[in-house]
């Protein structure tokens, strides 16, 4: 057996197809079923289970960022320099996902590092709460 296969380094065609979908998504956050639908529309025969398995592998390798959203499942996006440096906000009501990049959060992160000796990893940090639309809807009741 090939040494790479024995180590688990072997990359399948599905691995590269999924990687290409994420590369062409322009930083968009996609769910596994959306990636599956894109591949299907391209005429590729890749099962949904394979998509999930390869996304898990790509996340382990540090190529994609996995963000859990309420009721929407996990979203995946490229873990490029831009995505690695900002935080995500996820609405616990509707599952909306937004990027957070501001000086105030940077100040908080600096405080945590300076006063608590803890380094926060933006690529793995997601804040959960209610988006403005869901807050408005709640007030309307």
1 has a pLDDT exceeding 50: no
* Other beta carbons less than 10 A from residue 50's beta carbon: 19
* Other beta carbons less than 10 A from residue 137's beta carbon: 13
User: For helices 48-60 and 32-41, what crossing angle results, to 10°?
Assistant: 120
CA-based nearest residue to 125, from 102, 107, 109: 109
36-72: per-residue pLDDT in tens?
A: 999 999 999 999 999 999 999 998 888 888 887 766 6
Q: How many residues does the chain have?
A: 141
Confidence at residue 98, expressed as pLDDT on a 0 to 100 scale:
81
2-37: per-residue pLDDT in tens?
A: 444 444 567 889 999 999 999 888 777 889 999 999
The reported pTM is 0.67
Q: Of 37-51, 83-97, 109-123, 126-140, give the range with the top mean pLDDT.
A: 37-51
């Amino acid at each position: 057996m090939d040494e790479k296969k024995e180590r688990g380094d072997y990359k399948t065609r599905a691995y590269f197809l999924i990687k290409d979908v994420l590369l062409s998504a322009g930083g968009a956050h996609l769910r596994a079923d959306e990636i599956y639908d894109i591949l299907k529309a391209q005429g590729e025969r890749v099962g949904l289970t394979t998509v999930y398995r390869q996304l898990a592998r790509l996340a382990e390798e540090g190529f994609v960022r996995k963000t859990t959203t309420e009721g929407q499942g996990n979203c995946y996006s490229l873990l490029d320099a831009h995505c690695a440096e900002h935080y995500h906000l996820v609405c616990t009501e509707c599952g909306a996902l937004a990027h957070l990049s501001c000086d105030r959060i940077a100040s908080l992160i600096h405080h945590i590092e300076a006063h608590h000796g803890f380094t926060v990893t933006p690529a793995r940090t997601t804040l959960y709460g209610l988006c403005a639309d869901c807050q408005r809807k709640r007030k309307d009741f």
